[in-house]
Amino acid sequence: MLQRASPARISYNELMAVLRIAKMGNPVLLRKSEPVADPTAPEIRRLAADMQETLEDVGASGLAAPQVFVPKRVVVYRIIASRIPQGSGLAPRPWTVMVNPVITPKTSDKTPVWERCLSIPGLHGKVPRYLQINVRYQDLEGRTHEHDAYSSWAALLQHECDHLDGVLYPLRMKDLKKLLFESEIQHWIEKEETEAAAQ
């Protein structure tokens, strides 16, 4: 599917395409991605635009280049208001392209959070994540950015950057009993809410 992009999009009026997503078991998801030598290169801009179009098509929040069969250190993400957990204090985040991102935890503590992945459709897993991180990356103009991220925003960035190192979220899980189908997750959420209320 091709369509003309508006000027506000990452592609700046280039054609964009919905890309095929690699599924768990594909070797591309298990290898460490290569750094991008030139973030301003036209092929990186096209890749980012196609990744955005793919995310819009599937209605997801984040995508790493290896998930679309490109072993480069590129992540595209956004946070829309309807996906922000209540009480998290997060605000929506616009489309962001991170080239060669580096994550540094700001705490030694991890908290288990529910995650899902476009490369593992139909499943959820509870994954320990740092909820306070610093992230440093380049944009498509070659500028360097550095900022903190927290809560589910921090978890999202860790999830996507794991893909750049060939790591899928089940490899981070401590308890595989909490790897389950989406149709069953409500049982676990209700159980956790009941246990939390009892404390």
Q: Which residue among 34, 141, 160, 190 is the active-site one?
A: 160
Q: Is 160 a catalytic residue?
A: yes
Helix/strand/coil (H/E/C) assignment for every residue in the chain: CEEECCCCCCCCCCEEECCCCCCCCCHHHHCCCECCCCCCCHHHHHHHHHHHHHHHHHCCCEEEHHHHCCCECEEEEEECHHHCCCCCCCCCEEEEEEEEEEEEECCCCCEEEEEEECCEEEEEEEEEECCEEEEEEECCCCCEEEEEEEHHHHHHHHHHHHHHCCCCHHHHCCCHHHEEEHHHHHHHHHHHHHHHHHC
In the sheet where 144-150 sits, what is the strand order?
62-64, 74-79, 93-105, 132-138, 144-150
Residues designated as active site: 160
